């Protein structure tokens, strides 16, 4: 995709748009780690709930590019503002907002897709717009850097989320092995060889004690428990 402007030329348009797309994939993959029913958790008390960051990344891009590089419709001004600033804590302490204070996941996901579609549509037709105060490459790099910065902080934030709130990657080993299978097995009786002591007199008159094997009896069969771990 070529993105140029009569007054502002993006030096590496394909590279910038590719980086923006890669950044979206990176943050999408991070959110996919979290189980759907845990996206309103707050792994770090001082930070926002996870759902805020899902909308925040798109709200930032929209608020950054709209009016400076693109002319976008005001489709969801309330969500633009909510995901730009979050919900401020009362009294300056730790955040106290509840999951019910946030839009449903369907609304948030729809907002994300809507913003991405509007931005991508605008970037496709960027050559028809006039240049603004800031170079397009600068604005796109700010959007990319902001997203990657949040990818880094999301990574350590999600590290604080308990395992049972996360989706295991495909093919990952089970962390809690199943109880081992047990079964009783019989060990059959076998012949026993006993070494019988024999004293011999040697040519120098001394004696030597040797063992001479001979079959004397059979063992009794026994039953033991066999444990087979399930890994
Ligand atoms: Fe941010």
Give the model's pLDDT for residue 124: 84
Q: How far is the CA of 185 from the centre of ligand 1 (A)?
A: 63
Asked if residues 199 and 209 have their Cβ atoms less than 8 Å apart, the reply is yes
Q: How far is the CA of 10 from the centre of ligand 1 (A)?
A: 24
Q: Looking at residue 43, what DSSP letter applies?
A: S
How far is residue 146's CA from residue 65's CA, in Å, rounded to a whole number? 13
On the question of pLDDT at 36 being above 80, the answer is yes
When comparing pLDDT for 151 and 123, which is higher? 151
pLDDT-above-90 percentage for the chain: 52
Q: How far is the CA of 87 from the centre of ligand 1 (A)?
A: 14
Q: How far is the CA of 150 from the centre of ligand 1 (A)?
A: 7
How far is residue 116's CA from residue 104's CA, in Å, rounded to a whole number? 19
Q: CATH for 13-165, among 1.10.1200.10, 3.40.50.10190, 1.20.120.450, 1.10.260.40?
A: 1.20.120.450
On the question of pLDDT at 2 being above 60, the answer is no
Q: How far is the CA of 136 from the centre of ligand 1 (A)?
A: 20
How far is residue 69's CA from residue 50's CA, in Å, rounded to a whole number? 29
On the question of pLDDT at 146 being above 90, the answer is yes
Give the model's pLDDT for residue 6: 37
Q: How far is the CA of 82 from the centre of ligand 1 (A)?
A: 12
Q: How far is the CA of 54 from the centre of ligand 1 (A)?
A: 11
How far is residue 14's CA from residue 18's CA, in Å, rounded to a whole number? 6
- The average confidence (pLDDT) of the chain is 84
**Angle CA 39–43–46, to nearest 5:** 120
**Confidence band (pLDDT; 50, 70, 90) for 218?**
confident
Q: How far is the CA of 146 from the centre of ligand 1 (A)?
A: 6
When comparing pLDDT for 213 and 102, which is higher? 102
- In sequence order, the 6+-apart residues with CB closer than 8 A to the CB of 219 are 189, 190, 191, 192
**Is residue 182 classed as helix, strand or coil in its secondary structure?**
strand
Q: What are residue 208's DSSP bridge partners? A: 200
Give the model's pLDDT for residue 159: 95
Tens digit of pLDDT for each residue in 76-134?
A: 999 999 999 998 877 778 999 999 999 999 999 999 999 999 999 998 877 544 566 88
Q: Where are the domains of the chain?
A: 13-165, 178-230
What pTM value is reported for the model? 0.69
Q: How far is the CA of 139 from the centre of ligand 1 (A)?
A: 15
- Category of 92 on φ-ψ map: left (φ > 0), alpha (ψ -120 to 50) or beta: left
Q: How far is the CA of 57 from the centre of ligand 1 (A)?
A: 7
How far is residue 38's CA from residue 55's CA, in Å, rounded to a whole number? 16
Q: What is the mean pLDDT of residues 192-198?
A: 67
How far is residue 68's CA from residue 66's CA, in Å, rounded to a whole number? 5
Q: How far is the CA of 8 from the centre of ligand 1 (A)?
A: 26
Give the model's pLDDT for residue 150: 97
Q: How far is the CA of 231 from the centre of ligand 1 (A)?
A: 42
């Amino acid at each position: 995709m070529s993105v140029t402007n009569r007054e502002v030329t993006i030096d590496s348009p394909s590279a910038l748009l590719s980086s923006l797309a890669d950044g979206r994939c990176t943050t999408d993959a991070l959110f996919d780690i979290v189980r759907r029913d845990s996206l309103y958790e707050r792994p770090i008390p001082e930070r926002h709930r996870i759902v805020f960051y899902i909308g925040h990344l798109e709200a930032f891009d929209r608020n950054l590019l709209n009016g400076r590089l693109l002319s976008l419709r005001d489709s969801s001004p309330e969500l633009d503002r909510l995901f730009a600033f979050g919900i401020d804590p009362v009294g300056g302490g730790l955040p106290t907002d509840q999951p019910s204070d946030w839009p449903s996941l369907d609304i948030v996901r729809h907002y994300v897709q809507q913003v991405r579609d509007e931005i991508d549509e605008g970037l496709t037709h960027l050559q028809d717009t006039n240049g603004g105060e800031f170079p397009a490459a600068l604005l796109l790099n700010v959007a990319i850097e902001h997203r990657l910065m949040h990818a880094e902080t999301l990574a350590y934030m999600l590290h604080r989320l308990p395992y049972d709130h996360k989706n295991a990657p495909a093919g990952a080993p089970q962390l809690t092995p199943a109880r081992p299978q047990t079964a009783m097995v019989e060990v059959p009786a076998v012949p026993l060889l006993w070494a019988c002591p024999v004293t011999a007199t040697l040519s120098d008159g001394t004696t030597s004690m040797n063992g001479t094997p001979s079959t004397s009896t059979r063992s009794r069969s026994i039953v033991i428990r066999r444990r087979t771990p399930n890994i």
